[in-house]
A and B are shown apart, each in its own frame.
Chain A
Amino acid sequence: MMMKTKNNMKHPFLITFLSVFLISLTFSCQKKNKSKDTGSCNSNIICYTGEPDQLYVTLELSPSQNNLPIEVKFYSGSIDKGNLLDAFTTLASSETYIMSVDRTYSATAKYVTDGDTVIVVDSGHLATSYCTDNDTKCYDWDHELTLDLKLKE
C-alpha cells in the first residue's frame, strides 16, 4: 500500500519537470522567421496584403548631458563585422530610417557623462509583421524596429 502511494507521488514531479523542460526546449530552439505573426486582425483595420520590402528603424537616444552632441553610428549587420551606413552627431531624442527588411541592424551612441565615455550598443532584426484575417495575411506597413540606445540609469 505504501509503495503504491509513493509511485503515485512520483508522477506530478516528473510531469512538472518534463513539461518545464519541453517548454524551455521549444522556446530555445525557435527558428527565427522572416515575418512575425501577431494573431487575428482587428476588424477596423484596412488589410494590406502586399508585403513591404522596406520598414522603419528608429534609434532612441537619451537626452545629452552638458549639451554635448551624441555621436551615433548606424550599421547593417553587427558593429564589428557589419557595414557602417551612417555616422552623425545629434541632440535629438530619436532618429528614424527607412531600411530594407529581413536584415539585422546595429547602432551605437557615444555619451560623455561625468567624465566617463559610455558607448551604448543595440541591435535587432528588421522583419515584416502581419495579422491574419480568414487566412489572409494583412501586413503592418507601420511596423518598426526600435533600437534602444538610452543610457542605463
Chain B
Amino acid sequence: MKTNSTQKNDITNNETNNKNKLSRFFFLRKSINFHYLCPKTIITATMKLNKIYFFPARLLFSLILFLIPLKLLAQPIAINPVASSYLQPKFGANLGTLFNHQDLLLDFGLGYEELGYDFSITLNDAFRPFYNRGRVEIGDQLYYQVRHKAVQFSIDLEKRFYFLQFLNYNKLGIYLGLKSAFAWDNYKGFSLIQNDGFAFLPNAGLSWQFSKISRLSVGYLYRYNSVFSNPNMINIKLSLYVNSDDDEN
C-alpha cells in the first residue's frame, strides 16, 4: 500500500514529466525542426496539449467550421449598412444563451425575420436550467441566501447593419436589439414565485448572416433586472430561417 508521501512523489513526477513533454512540444513548434516531425511524437504531444489547454478552443473552432460556409472566406465587398433591399419576410427560430461568470440562461424564440430590411421581431422564452445561489437583502444588514430558478418571456426587437458582404449573400455586421422582458424567479424552499417585473434589456454585438439560411449573433446584453447576479451578460444566438426562398438567390 502506498503512503501519502509516495503518492505525492508520484504526482510530482507525473507533473514534471508532463511539463517536460509540453515544453518539448513548444520547443518543436518554435524551432520547426523536421527531425521531430515524426507522426507519433506530434500526435501524442498535440493530444496532451489539447487535453489540457485547448478543449474550449477546439470546441469553438469546430462550431465555427460547422456553421460558416467556406464561401464566407472569399473576398468581401463593403456595403452600405443602412441601405435596404426589397421585403423578404421569413419565419425564424432561434436558440441562444445569456451568460456571465455568475449565471446562465437558455433562450429559445420564434418569430418574424425580415432579411431585406434586416430586422426581426421574435417571441422568446429564457430560463435558468438549474438552481443558482445568491443573496438578497430583505432588511438592514439582513439577507436571505437562496437558490433560485428563473423564467423570462420577452418580445425581442433587433435591427442589423451589415457592412461586409461575401459571396452567396453571407454578411457581417453589427446588431442593436431590445428585449422587452417579463421575468419570474422561483425560490427553493418558498411557495412564493417572485415577479421581477417588466424590463427593457438593451443588447448589441456582431452578427454574421450565412446566406439566407441562418445567422449567428455574439454580443452584450445588460440584464439590469437581475436580482442576484451581475447584470452584464454575453449573448450568443443562432437564428434559423425556416422558409428560405431559393428563388430570391
Which residues of chain A have a CB within 8 Å of any CB of chain B? 2-3, 6-7, 9-10, 12-14, 17, 20-21, 24, 27-28, 77-81, 106-108, 115-124, 151-152
Contact = CB atoms under 8 A, between A and B. Distances in A.
Interface in B130-172: 133-135, 141-147
Contacts of A116: 141-143
17 contacts: A6-B211, A6-B244, A9-B69, A10-B244, A13-B238, A17-B93, A21-B95, A28-B129, A78-B189, A106-B189, A107-B189, A118-B143, A118-B145, A119-B145, A121-B144, A121-B147, A121-B190
B104 interface: no
B191 interface: yes
Given A6-B249, A108-B189, 13 more contacts: A9-B213, A10-B244, A20-B95, A24-B106, A78-B190, A80-B191, A106-B189, A117-B142, A118-B144, A121-B147, A121-B188, A122-B147, A122-B188
B66 interface: yes
B145 A6 contact: no
B175 interface: no
Contacts, number: 82
Contacts of B147: 121-122
Contact of B240 (A6, A7, A14, A151): A14
B192 interface: yes
Contact of A13 (B134, B141, B143, B240): B240
A121 B146 contact: yes
A81 B143 contact: no
